[in-house]
A and B are shown apart, each in its own frame.
Chain A
């Protein structure tokens, strides 16, 4: 199978080629790339794909993973049903 078929993000069904295309379009910082492609915003919230995204961005832009950084982690860590939340306490 060619390079273009490599799946980077399972939740949003994104290939490596699509990620590279977005970087070429100018979405070449991690926050913009994630928003433009939808990578890391699906059900796993980046647990499966963030590292791939950083690797591709690093290869394409010749910046180190440290320079690229990580995206802001948004709570909750795992999905929580509304029913459970609605029974919680407020201040």
Chain B
């Protein structure tokens, strides 16, 4: 079997890696450089404290993979398991966090309610009066997204996968007869085509002649200058959609969770910086003196019902592997592994909730 994978983000590369590990011949096409997509622009928060029942088992499996894959690939992901805190200050958010916590615990996630004052044991200068409720999971952490992409790419190449960067797919042929993708002037024949083009997946699906209709989300993010290790856990304020963490290089990375946009664009806004600065200095007033060095934004896609779209489309030679949403860096690794099984065996009950045919 020959497989063509469109998009070298975490989803495409994880799928390619596990396919190749089972002996499948794989080629990966990436329109720009590695890390160009959302997988190179995110904040690397990895946790199983998610709201959707369907995603939690995948997050739990990915957490294990984040611990084990680096030694398998001989590539350090700079993954730190220093915990994840979610806070809220609006009643409806508190209710949602409580409900999700019950679900998470039922599924075996190690997560608990903590008092806002207890956050000060984890983040010394936290202003606990800025929030009313908090949950914490020790078994979560932060990864540096670039080494994840590079490490998976290295693993792929060592198994003989060709990763064609700066090679944009612009035509797809499926159905009876000769199938494959066209990139540049060349046609690459393949039995199965995997659409893991992130925010560009709608477009790829359209040129294959298959309806997709994922939402496009844009998310802005920034980093400060580096300071000494200070912020161990990842912090998400669900009422304000704001999150912060510290990279292994010492920069404080922070953003505001994404919003749906009409079309793909990655402009950075002053509006974001101001909103971010206001809230982050309420939560940790001591950060006031720190300077923002750089800001950027990323785009990702999300299934219409908020769940990923992963599995055979109505034409079995065209496989959807997209719609990962805000938690894609977390669930992508294990989704890719399970998708490889689906492609090889023709079925995988674990992926049923994400079937493209559910709509």
> In whole angstroms, what is the CA distance A89 to B288 when docked?
17
Contact B277 A88, beta carbon cutoff 8 Å: yes
**Interface residue B120 (Cβ < 8 Å from any Cβ of A):** no
Contact A35 B271, beta carbon cutoff 8 Å: no
Beta-carbon contacts under 8 Å, B156-192 to A: 165-166
Q: Given A74-B296, A89-B274, A90-B275, do A32 and B290 touch, yes or no (CB 8 Å)? A: no
Contact A31 B36, beta carbon cutoff 8 Å: yes
Beta-carbon contacts of A71-86 to B below 8 Å, as 1s and 0s? 0001110011111011
Contact B146 A82, beta carbon cutoff 8 Å: no
Contact A35 B146, beta carbon cutoff 8 Å: yes
Contact A76 B281, beta carbon cutoff 8 Å: no
Contact A81 B288, beta carbon cutoff 8 Å: yes
Ordered by A's residue number, 27 sampled pairs between the chains whose C-beta atoms are within 8 Å are A29-B33, A29-B165, A31-B32, A32-B33, A35-B35, A35-B40, A36-B150, A38-B249, A43-B225, A45-B293, A74-B294, A74-B296, A75-B295, A76-B273, A76-B294, A81-B288, A81-B292, A82-B277, A82-B287, A82-B290, A83-B288, A85-B273, A86-B274, A88-B270, A88-B273, A88-B277, A91-B271
Beta-carbon contacts under 8 Å, B61-92 to A: none
Question: Which residues on the A side are within 8 Å of B274 (C-beta)?
Answer: 85-86, 88-90
Contact B294 A86, beta carbon cutoff 8 Å: no
> In whole angstroms, what is the CA distance A43 to B274 when docked?
21
Question: Which residues on the A side are within 8 Å of B165 (C-beta)?
Answer: 29
Question: Which residues on the B side are within 8 Å of A81 (C-beta)?
Answer: 288-292
Q: How far is the CB of A67 from chain B (nearest CB, A)?
A: 12
> In whole angstroms, what is the CA distance A57 to B292 when docked?
29
Q: How far is the CB of A90 from chain B (nearest CB, A)?
A: 5
Q: Given A74-B268, A86-B288, A90-B274, do A41 and B294 touch, yes or no (CB 8 Å)? A: yes
Q: Given A75-B268, A90-B271, A91-B271, do A82 and B280 touch, yes or no (CB 8 Å)? A: yes
Question: Which residues on the B side are within 8 Å of A79 (C-beta)?
Answer: 225, 291-293
Inter-chain CB contacts under 8 Å: number: 78
**Interface residue B31 (Cβ < 8 Å from any Cβ of A):** no
What 5 pairs between A and B have smallest CB-CB spacing?
A79-B291, A85-B277, A86-B277, A88-B274, A83-B288
**Interface residue B335 (Cβ < 8 Å from any Cβ of A):** no
Question: Which residues on the B side are within 8 Å of A82 (C-beta)?
Answer: 224, 277, 280-281, 287-292
**Interface residue B99 (Cβ < 8 Å from any Cβ of A):** no
Question: Which residues on the A side are within 8 Å of B270 (C-beta)?
Answer: 88
Question: Which residues on the A side are within 8 Å of B273 (C-beta)?
Answer: 76, 80, 85, 88
Question: Which residues on the B side are within 8 Å of A43 (C-beta)?
Answer: 225, 293
Contact B281 A83, beta carbon cutoff 8 Å: yes
What size tier do the contact residues of chain B reach?
20 to 34
**Interface residue B259 (Cβ < 8 Å from any Cβ of A):** no
Beta-carbon contacts of B286-328 to A below 8 Å, as 1s and 0s? 0111111111100000000000000000000000000000000
Contact A80 B288, beta carbon cutoff 8 Å: no
Contact A80 B291, beta carbon cutoff 8 Å: yes
Of all chain A residues, the one with the shortest Cβ separation from B251 is A41
**Interface residue B278 (Cβ < 8 Å from any Cβ of A):** yes
Question: Which residues on the A side are within 8 Å of B33 (C-beta)?
Answer: 29, 31-32
> In whole angstroms, what is the CA distance A37 to B68 when docked?
24
> In whole angstroms, what is the CA distance A29 to B271 when docked?
32
**Interface residue B34 (Cβ < 8 Å from any Cβ of A):** yes
Residue from the set A43, A74, A85 with the largest chain B CB neighbour count within 10 Å:
A85
> In whole angstroms, what is the CA distance A35 to B148 when docked?
13
Q: How far is the CB of A1 from chain B (nearest CB, A)?
A: 28
Contact A86 B278, beta carbon cutoff 8 Å: yes
Q: How far is the CB of A9 from chain B (nearest CB, A)?
A: 13
Of all chain B residues, the one with the shortest Cβ separation from A44 is B293
Contact of A86 (CB < 8 Å), options: B249, B271, B281, B296: B281
Beta-carbon contacts of A46-85 to B below 8 Å, as 1s and 0s? 0000000000000000000000000000111001111101
